[in-house]
Structure 1
Amino acid sequence: MKDIKKRRRYKRGHKVLIPLILYFFIFAVYNSTAQSVLPVPLDPDMRYGQLANGLTYYIKALPGSKEGVSMRLVHKVGSNDEREDEGDFAHAIEHLAFQSTKSFPLGIENDERFNSSGFGNYKVNASSGRRNTTYKFNIGEPSPEGLKLGFLWFKEIIQNLTLTKEDIESTRGEVREEYLGKVGTQLAYSIASSKMYSRIFPCEESEEGLLDHYDYFSPEKIRKFYEAWYHPKLMALIIVGNIHDPVDVEKQVRSTFSIKPSKGLSVRPQNCDSLYFEKAPQFVIVERKIDSNKLIQDKSAEGHLIFRLPEFQPRLESIDRATKTFYLKMMLDILNERLREGSEKYEMKRPLIYDLYTQDLPSAMEIVFSFKNGAGKETVKKIAKVYHQLQKYGILESEFIKAKEKLLFKLDWLKEDQPEYWLQEIDSHFIRGEVLPAQKKLNILKYVDDLKMKNLNNFIKEHLVKSPEDIGFIAPAGHEALSFKEGEVRFWFVDALDENIKPYKNTEVKTLLSNEEVKSLEAVKFIDKGIEDFGAEKIILTNGVEVVILPTSSNDPVSQHRINLHGFRIGGAKFLTEDDYWSALNASQIVSNSGVNGLTNFEVNRILRHQNILAGAVAPYIDNAEHGIYGSAKPENLETILQLVYLFFTRPNMNKLAFENWKSEKIDWYLKSSADLYAADFNEARRRDLGDKNLQNSHNRRHLPAGTLGILSLEETDYEKSFNIFRRFFGDAEGFTFLITGDFEIDEILPLVLKYLGNLPGPNLHKMPTENKNSTFPEGSTFQELSNKGNLNMPNISYGTSFIIKPEDFYDWKERMKIEVLGEVVRQKMWDLRFKKGYGLYDVSARGQMNYNLRRYEIHTYLFCQPKDFERLQEEIRQIYSDIIMGEISEEELSGAREMVEYFNFSEKAIRLGTKINGLYHHYRFNYPWTDIGRMSSFTKELNREDIVEVAKKYLEGENFHEYVIKGN
């Protein structure tokens, strides 16, 4: 299912003993009068208790943890506990906890004690959902002062939020903008979806009227909600990490939090699970409103089949509950795979399956599917056939093995020396009643590893015998789904039993190349050009392909043993006629969707899945001025990746049905995606007005325009032209440069490189153009109101500013780092508009960067604001620039800016996502100097206020300044 609550922030002995062990180890058993956990022993290394006022605490020491200390205050109240006129109050109070309190009159993040330890040492955050609200205080370098400060903030949350009128008014705008930011252009769908779910699940709320509620709810009502629900009995304090003296910390907890509540607890959380399972089966149809002004309309309907699983409630006294949980996960995974396989055709949409328990809903399985007008009956019956086939014939051994491997991988993803593992487990213990004894994870892994296929098949036969209890449809006016009758839909599902359902057969996993084809490709000779100063080895193959290989090492377990590849050559859409422009840019996606070597895209992806390689691991592209191909894999999968690279050059498919499917998928994504289309449309319009027609490059991939411009491009894209352009650009490889980085030895990968890259076609039959250095600098300061090309219903205004700057020296990497830090300083100050000045903003963005293609510096900002705030925010942004030029940069802002630049460029995650291979690319593509990452990191850390003010005075000039706005039609 899509996020039902889009406005919510969401940010695991002896064989005969294992079932009994798991019964006690996984789920708490509740007595008949209270929710207190029976004495199933907790991990003996954990300190646990309950104060006289009802507050529960957990302390788990992880000696030597490099992640400091993580503290949580978990409140067992969320949106499930809101009444009709209290919509989003639990979420609003979560925001208000960052506003004024008795001990933090300016808010925790503006308190001198919070900031005096140095930026980044203390970090606070919070989230709210259906069952609970969680407040987070993390300490990077453990200290007594950090513990005391975190304890004080949590204590304030429990009983000392001031909830002033000014704070509530500010928060009113924040939560409103967060909701709009998350639903994006899907407001009508989100409202319809919430109406459907509110009629199925007793504790769900309809979002109809929510925007008005945000504007007009009474401050007194939210104060009463806080007074009623914020009581120690409903709360738990969790402390996990590098704790030197747990006994002393426990004493501090008892002395700090032994507070007397101002009054007793007068409310009780609803048992939403029981209310749901006691409710009669539901059949719900909701009409989705259509914005008739929108560029294109979503005319499809969405169906929901929900199968209740009351036996999987976490609080039932059943030994079966423990042992069946893992069977359920495997069954859902196998059913999901079969539904995927059944829809692997260019004219079909894939149904999705969800375990609703993982979304804090009552335990149930949901299948969600979309269908065109007239296809409802056929779609339901296709799903029912897959469902009944699994129930009738069971699973195959290959499916069982794969599902078990996936489950074991998920269960073992977080390690017991990681704070996040314990935070999740303790949270489940307190909120859901799942118990947490010693060696829980070890016993679970042993049990899952010992699961038998026969038992899983018996489980499937037992649990797939029924039809869905709850059925829902969301459809636009005029769609057949609005007239469906409950009896006929339920009959469609049952009627599939009477049809001839044959046993499931494994879909054949083909090979990219046959054994004979692989043998026919011989490793070619090469010219060794030596080793660069920075350690990269450069070779030239006989077909004119240049290969640069840079082995790297990493301490990041995700980065270790991974290889990144990027091949590129000058020549792109700008060198073609204007009529061919979009056919060229879209060509790579069209070919990727068509497949290679006679294999469909679905067959190629099946080969990749079989080897645990993500779809899209190899991605060709044609940009404005260059074309190329990306690849990423583990060393054991490198040959598969190189085979796919070879086939894109030599044997791309031409498939008209795949082309039509590609267009349909693009439109479907545009209509149904919750991505921020407002920002996408704004950024594309701004970039093009500033003379930048290159594709955006992030996470080591090129991205076609995601918003309305991408949809408009479909009419300008010709199928045959796209294929012929792709063949022209990739039909030979002379002049290509391939960059390869990763955790490997050169001798290990060189034979495969010579075999596959060495046999790419050449010499160059279609000479590629020589690129002229293209620099674009718009003249003078400008203000432009851009067109709302998609006729999107915009409740807010998109507003942004840009500085376009000509570098004094394009090759000066130190100046580039200063520009990046300057951009982050701007972003730090923009957040103050929300957190210090009270503007109703959910998200803001600012970035300083080098645009290598256009050889210029850029500083961009963007925000999505209420119309009433626009003119004031326009002045606020201008004032931010003036303040920076005048040197008004706090140490907190500068430290935060440096830390963010460090994270985006030099962290293990940044390196994993392509810092090193991008550095190689900039060096070989733009002749930009190669600079050691450690050297750049050290330089960035030492930048001071004077350095940033200097570049601000140099570049933040009026003639470089441009403003843009998009308003609703």
Structure 2
Amino acid sequence: MLIYKKFIRMIMKEDNVQNIRWNLFRRLVFFVLGGILLITGNAKGQTTDGGFLPTDSCVKIGHLPNGFTYYIRRNTEPKDRVTMYLVNKVGSILEDEGQRGLAHFMEHMSFNGTTHFPKNELVDYLQKAGVRFGGDLNAYTNFDETVYELPIPADDPTLLHNGFQIMRDWAQDATLSPVEIEKERGVILEEKRLRDGVQQRLRDRYFPIVLNGSKYAYRVPIGLESIIKDFKYETLRRFYKDWYRPDLQALIVVGDIDVQETEKMIVDMFSDLKMPAKPRERKIYTIPLLNKNQFFSATDKELQTETIEVLVKHPEEIIKSDDDFRKALILSLLNRMLGSRYYELSQQANPPFIQAGADITSFIANLEVADAQVSVKPGEEEKGFKALWTEIERIRKFGFTKTELERAKSDLLMAYESSYKEKDKTPSDTYVKEYMDNFLKGNAIPGIDFEYQFVKKALPHFTVDDVNRIMKTYFNTVTNRDILVMAPETSKGKLPSQTDVEQWMKEVADSALTPYKDSVSGQTLLPKKITGGKIVSERELKELGITELKLSNGLKVLLKPTDFKDDEISFFAYSPGGTSLSGDKDFESADAAARLVNNSGLGNFNAIELSKFLNGKRVNVSPFMSERFEGLQGQMSPKDMKTAFQMMYGYFEEPRADSVVFTGLLSKEKAILENRSNNPTLVFRDSVSAILGNYNIRRTGPSVKKLDEINISKAFSIYKERFADASDFTFVFVGSFKVDSIKPFVAKYLGALPQLNRKEQACNLNIHFPSGRIKKEIFSGIDNRSTVELVFSGKYNYTTLENTRMNALSRILTIRLTEDLREKESGVYGVGAYAHYSKYPENRYSLFISFSCKPGNVQKLIDETLKQVKELEKEGPSLVDVNKFKAERTRQLEVSLKSNDFWLNYLGQKCLDNAPLDDVLTYSELVNSVKPKDVRKVARDYLSGKNFIQIVLYPKQASN
């Protein structure tokens, strides 16, 4: 992970990583790095006078006399839902010195009492309506903004009205009760504790350098512990009164609503927002460019690998005109080509680095960066860095090739075509993020119709000279360049100096480099002609909209056409067996088998050639091998069905084992594992897995020794054996296809797969959670933080009804523990109960309760947790909590039933369990049938504590 990307995730207060909002430029860059393009809309016409991009005509943008802004768009994806965001141009950058952390604190307090929803009534009210706290109801605080998110049903007029009332209360009517402030101090300190760690320690040291001594370096949203503990109530109230005001706020409403009625409601409810009598200036802070080069070097006990990174900072450009858009497109092409170059470098027997990459992307505040980074093996700093920098210099001297550019163009156009095809199925969240970016940054929102036409016209005119010119400009390291070197503590005293790195850069620049040769295979993917098979039977499951096919080779296919997406088909295929059929001595080879094939190419193409072949195609097909199954999974665009089915066929009949590439991959993995014990989170994870798996070698963590046990020939032999017989395979396809259009591909490619008529089942390895009561303490790490894992387990009565009741138990337990451990005790930031149950190889269950806290509070919070468990056993839950579970599950199901992912996962799991496919038709009835006495019964049956495991991570010093 590049350091600048760590910045953004680290500094944002986020209950969900998906809350990161990229602007248009960021999205273009993120797409070429493998993300999802999020440029959507329905614009009309061309650019406006002066070359400025138009505004999407489908969004209603308005401004109230008090300065409040609103965006409204009707969108029926998903149906009967509306998403509201209250966006404030208010973040930690506006804090006075004595307020550091209060922007984020204020965000928390908005959930702890407003005029119409005192104390915690807001969360309680929404939970009763099926809105999950954290999962749906959410917020985050960044340097420059605080954003509140509320997705709610739109088919209940009272709930919809109250949703607007909640937004109105958040805008200016938080109560800021002293009692609630005191309770929230502990919650935020626990959130800060979660963020403490190696990245935080390093950030505190390098922020002043990379942020050029600006205010941003000293306004990380989580704030200072001393201020969070002791600030006066009036200090928080002053921040709220100064900055939560209409001229800095926008309400974004996108969903299945009437635009005119919504606008009237906004005007009625938000027009009375008051401006302060003497409003403080909302200064726009920036990070100045110092026109000098800087260097940072540090070690830390918990780092696993050594990283060298070069950042070249530039002023960020807002996308408003067609010229801005063209530049953003060129940057996207450049990043795609950079990524391909480094991917090729990584495909070596002895790669010169663990990981390397370079790109140009948005940074923080007013800056964007050209970034190049490399993770190196111990003692190979010079070798690794020179490999990274050689490619930068090669491109600067010789540029990219025309064939590279054409592939990048094809990929970018494919992404826009897909977005254009999906324009009527675009999720509301996508529009919200764009409008939020328009309000905060000023980036244009022209809409996909305009963008797609623009891209189709612009792409053919881009030349390698256009891309090369930007490359030379952005990677000009003469000034505004930072070099960052970070490594494990064991490398202290051995790290390269600024002089060393600059000398390596000079040596690379002065070396006799040669131009890049773009090798493209002229072969077809598969080496032989496919004769195909036949569909021997066809059956319709009308209630589910599913067609079941049986092929001449015994293979079964389930087809579920949907209209949820216009350019997406997802699939899953499986056969019983997996690694369970390999003995312990071959386990590591079996476990690596699918990974070997995945990294070796396919058919006539090696991995690099396959990557180039798939440029411009929306196809992803990957083999997998789990403990009990082997199979394939992936996605495709309908237009790329032929390629996808050829790949499915190829992973059976034409797999490859590239020992050179895989040896290189293993060498990188070994380098990472050498310092795995430095990371307390991984130490704890490995320990939990080993304890719960009774220390079976299939459950203990990864190690260099285990990698050494992998025999590439044996791994490939196991793979071919597991995929030698298609007669016991089941394929599930869900998405935008017609049954008659996909059947010829099914018959030709899947029908041609080999048939041995083996009758296999996965082996029962008898690896169970240990019985009895067990307590384990793990000591790792230097931060004052503990992690607690409590596990109940045992035999289980696996039925759909019992599973539903178990889900109710875990969800209700989560709600109660949140109310107790977080809201009452202020002892945790988050806590959750998670139920797992399996039908095979035996009916068994496990229920995990997890949280992190201050080490000194561990036993107290465990006691509180077990008290809640006992109360559920003895008294059962309240009807209110049961109804919250019902509302959440019912609302989730309404949305899920319109999702390809849901149907693929649902049908796949039902097939794996040999269970009836039509359970979903009665699931709502099962949910609504749950009563408090049912939850009490499963609590008594499964939470007795007969089999109870308590595992706690403590910092190392706690063991002294």
Give the structure-1-normalised TM-score. 0.80
Judged with a 3 Å threshold, the aligned counterparts in structure 2 of structure 1 residues 942 and 724 are, in CA distance, closer, same or farther, namely same
The answer as to 2:381 corresponding to 1:373 is yes
**Aligned residue number for residue 92 of structure 1:** 105
Give the Cα separation in 2 of the matches to 1:714 and 1:240: 51
Q: Is the 8 A contact 2:419 2:448 kept in 1?
A: no
Give the Cα separation in 2 of the matches to 1:178 and 1:601: 43
Matches within 5 A, 1:287-686: 287-291=298-302, 298-309=304-315, 312-313=317-318, 320-321=323-324, 323-346=326-349, 347=351, 351-357=356-362, 361-371=366-376, 372-375=380-383, 376-390=385-399, 396-407=405-416, 409=418, 419-434=428-443, 441-451=448-458, 453-455=460-462, 457=464, 459-460=466-467, 462-466=469-473, 467-468=476-477, 469-476=480-487, 477-484=492-499, 488=503, 491=506, 495=509, 499-502=512-515, 505=518, 507-508=520-521, 511-514=524-527, 517=528, 519=529, 521-524=530-533, 537=548, 539=550, 541=552, 546-557=554-565, 562-570=569-577, 572-573=579-580, 576=583, 578-597=584-603, 599-614=605-620, 617-623=621-627, 625-634=628-637, 636-666=639-669, 677=682, 680-681=685-686, 683-686=688-691
Q: Secondary structure at the match of 1:484?
A: helix
- Residue by residue, what CA displacement relative to the aligned partner does 1:786-845 show, whole Å, maximum 9, x if unpaired? 546xx455642222223324335x4x3222222222222222223324553253433333
- Residue by residue, what CA displacement relative to the aligned partner does 1:125-146 show, whole Å, maximum 9, x if unpaired? 2122232111233441266644
Matches within 5 A, 1:229-268: 229-244=243-258, 246=260, 249-250=263-264, 253=267, 256-261=270-275, 263-268=277-282
Give the Cα separation in 1 of the matches to 2:412 and 2:423: 19
Judged with a 3 Å threshold, the aligned counterparts in structure 2 of structure 1 residues 172 and 391 are, in CA distance, closer, same or farther, namely farther
Matches within 5 A, 1:907-926: 908=896, 912-913=900-901, 915=903, 919=907, 922-923=910-911
Q: Secondary structure at the match of 1:819?
A: helix
Judged with a 3 Å threshold, the aligned counterparts in structure 2 of structure 1 residues 569 and 231 are, in CA distance, closer, same or farther, namely closer
Alpha-carbon shift at residue 287 of structure 1 (Å): 1.2
Judged with a 3 Å threshold, the aligned counterparts in structure 2 of structure 1 residues 736 and 132 are, in CA distance, closer, same or farther, namely same
Q: Secondary structure at the match of 2:137?
A: strand
Alpha-carbon shift at residue 554 of structure 1 (Å): 2.3
Of residues 877, 881, 896, the one that matches 1:893 is 881
Supply the AA of the counterpart residue of 2:702: G
The answer as to 2:870 corresponding to 1:882 is yes
The answer as to 2:68 corresponding to 1:55 is yes
Q: Is the 8 A contact 2:139 2:148 kept in 1?
A: yes
Q: Is the 8 A contact 1:564 1:631 kept in 2?
A: yes
Give the Cα separation in 2 of the matches to 1:144 and 1:735: 53
**Aligned residue number for residue 24 of structure 1:** 52
Q: Is the 8 A contact 2:394 2:515 kept in 1?
A: no
- Residue by residue, what CA displacement relative to the aligned partner does 1:222-274 show, whole Å, maximum 9, x if unpaired? 454434433333223334444447368547635654244454223433331xx
Judged with a 3 Å threshold, the aligned counterparts in structure 2 of structure 1 residues 212 and 373 are, in CA distance, closer, same or farther, namely farther
Judged with a 3 Å threshold, the aligned counterparts in structure 2 of structure 1 residues 192 and 512 are, in CA distance, closer, same or farther, namely farther
Of residues 766, 773, 787, the one that matches 1:782 is 773
**Aligned residue number for residue 145 of structure 2:** 132
The answer as to 2:786 corresponding to 1:797 is yes
Q: Secondary structure at the match of 1:301?
A: strand
Aligned CA-pair RMSD: 4.5
Q: Is the 8 A contact 1:51 1:254 kept in 2?
A: no
Of residues 819, 824, 841, the one that matches 1:832 is 819
Judged with a 3 Å threshold, the aligned counterparts in structure 2 of structure 1 residues 929 and 281 are, in CA distance, closer, same or farther, namely same
Judged with a 3 Å threshold, the aligned counterparts in structure 2 of structure 1 residues 478 and 604 are, in CA distance, closer, same or farther, namely farther
Give the Cα separation in 2 of the matches to 1:532 and 1:314: 50
Alpha-carbon shift at residue 106 of structure 1 (Å): 1.0
User: Which shifted more, 711-720 or 227-236?
Assistant: 711-720
Identical aligned residues as a percent: 17
Give the Cα separation in 1 of the matches to 2:219 and 2:139: 24
**Aligned residue number for residue 72 of structure 1:** 85
**Aligned residue number for residue 739 of structure 1:** 731
Alpha-carbon shift at residue 868 of structure 1 (Å): 2.6
Note the residue ranges of structure 2 that are not aligned, 5 or more in a row: 21-38, 40-44
Of residues 277, 285, 289, the one that matches 1:271 is 285
Give the Cα separation in 2 of the matches to 1:655 and 1:884: 55
- Residue by residue, what CA displacement relative to the aligned partner does 1:474-526 show, whole Å, maximum 9, x if unpaired? 22234543343686466467x36x85553764644754312xx1x2x423568
- Residue by residue, what CA displacement relative to the aligned partner does 1:101-128 show, whole Å, maximum 9, x if unpaired? 454331353465x566565799632122
Alpha-carbon shift at residue 870 of structure 1 (Å): 1.4
Of residues 789, 796, 804, the one that matches 1:807 is 796
Q: Secondary structure at the match of 2:922?
A: helix
Judged with a 3 Å threshold, the aligned counterparts in structure 2 of structure 1 residues 351 and 915 are, in CA distance, closer, same or farther, namely same
Give the Cα separation in 2 of the matches to 1:445 and 1:914: 29
Q: Secondary structure at the match of 1:48?
A: strand
Q: Secondary structure at the match of 2:805?
A: helix
Q: Is the 8 A contact 1:574 1:581 kept in 2?
A: no
Give the Cα separation in 1 of the matches to 2:822 and 2:495: 48
- Residue by residue, what CA displacement relative to the aligned partner does 1:10-43 show, whole Å, maximum 9, x if unpaired? 445xxxx9455474336xxxxxxxxxxxxxx995
Supply the AA of the counterpart residue of 1:258: D
Judged with a 3 Å threshold, the aligned counterparts in structure 2 of structure 1 residues 805 and 23 are, in CA distance, closer, same or farther, namely same
**Aligned residue number for residue 29 of structure 2:** none
Supply the AA of the counterpart residue of 1:565: F
Number of residue equivalences: 903
**Aligned residue number for residue 31 of structure 2:** none
Alpha-carbon shift at residue 90 of structure 1 (Å): 2.3
**Aligned residue number for residue 34 of structure 1:** none
Of residues 824, 839, 860, the one that matches 2:848 is 860
**Aligned residue number for residue 842 of structure 1:** 829
- Residue by residue, what CA displacement relative to the aligned partner does 1:877-911 show, whole Å, maximum 9, x if unpaired? 21222232344534553244345556887854796
Q: Is the 8 A contact 2:78 2:255 kept in 1?
A: yes
Q: Secondary structure at the match of 1:265?
A: coil
Give the Cα separation in 2 of the matches to 1:234 and 1:424: 17
Give the Cα separation in 2 of the matches to 1:143 and 1:416: 23
Alpha-carbon shift at residue 714 of structure 1 (Å): 2.8
The answer as to 2:296 corresponding to 1:282 is no
Supply the AA of the counterpart residue of 1:25: L
**Aligned residue number for residue 946 of structure 1:** 933
Q: Is the 8 A contact 2:732 2:908 kept in 1?
A: no
Q: Secondary structure at the match of 2:664?
A: helix
Judged with a 3 Å threshold, the aligned counterparts in structure 2 of structure 1 residues 723 and 768 are, in CA distance, closer, same or farther, namely farther
Alpha-carbon shift at residue 557 of structure 1 (Å): 1.0
Give the Cα separation in 2 of the matches to 1:211 and 1:335: 39
Give the Cα separation in 2 of the matches to 1:586 and 1:394: 34
- Residue by residue, what CA displacement relative to the aligned partner does 1:916-963 show, whole Å, maximum 9, x if unpaired? 56646655x554444442123432244333332333333332324443
